[in-house]
Structure 1
Amino acid sequence: MTRIVAVTACPSGVAHTYMAAEAIDSAAKAKGWTCDVETQGSIGIENELSASAIEAADVVILTKDIDIKNSERFEGKTIVRIGVSDAVKRAAAVMDKIDAHLAKATA
């Protein structure tokens, strides 16, 4: 089973951070994947990813609109960087691309 972890953040740290988190989580689960999402919003880091969740992840999704705090945690992992608006509007398409990438990597 594919495991995804993600960190979402936007410049204002309000609505789009949480909308992106929900969209990524829903799109991953629609594929039958597990997904953990950390948000870095206006009230700080919520649902912080555990070291074990990061270690087990096949892919890390990071939004790129602002710097992600503690991003060194993901060194050595396959990282996909997307805009917050892409996460909100195109999460299913992003998951399809990840799926195709993983299929190639294991072929």
Structure 2
Amino acid sequence: MNIVGVSACTVGIAHTYMAQKALVDAAVAAGDSIKMETQGTIGIENALSAEDIAQADIVILAVDVKIAGEERFEGKKTVKVPTEMAIKSPKKLIAKLHELAGK
């Protein structure tokens, strides 16, 4: 399955990157392709392209704040969770994405 997502926490430091790493590790372990954009204190890193989004089966938003460019995901299956959930239960979250995407 092809997953794209964004992680962003209130402070924009630790949880942003912890959520990104946890989701990437869990998705790779499940055999998925994943690209995660981070929106932290130093700005947007690993920005998702329109092509990345178009090719995605599902979008995961692990966010605690309003993110820039959320409208890019209109029309895509999207799951929004707090960063804490992505950090604590990434494998369950990836399994849920599979269920919702039907893959």
Percent identity, aligned pairs only, is 46
CA RMSD of aligned residues (A): 1.0
The whole-number CA distance in structure 2 between the counterparts of 1:43 and 1:34 is 25
The whole-number CA distance in structure 2 between the counterparts of 1:45 and 1:100 is 29
Shift of 1:99: 1.4
Question: Which moved further from structure 2: 81-90 or 62-71?
Answer: 62-71
| 3-state SS, counterpart of residue 39 of structure 2 | strand
What residue is the counterpart of 2:8 in the other structure?
A: 9
Shift of 1:61: 0.5
What residue is the counterpart of 1:18 in the other structure?
A: 17
| 3-state SS, counterpart of residue 68 of structure 2 | coil
Answer with 1 or 2: which has the greater Rg.
1
Moved over 3 A (4+): none
Shift of 1:102: 2.5
Alignment of 1:1-107 (within 5 A): 2-103=1-102
Shift of 1:12: 0.2
Preserved contact between residue 77 and residue 101 of structure 2 (Cα < 8 Å): no
The whole-number CA distance in structure 2 between the counterparts of 1:102 and 1:56 is 13
The code of the aligned residue for 2:2 comes to R
Gaps of at least 5 residues in structure 1 are none
Question: Which moved further from structure 2: 91-100 or 9-18?
Answer: 91-100
Shift of 1:100: 1.8
Gaps of at least 5 residues in structure 2 are none
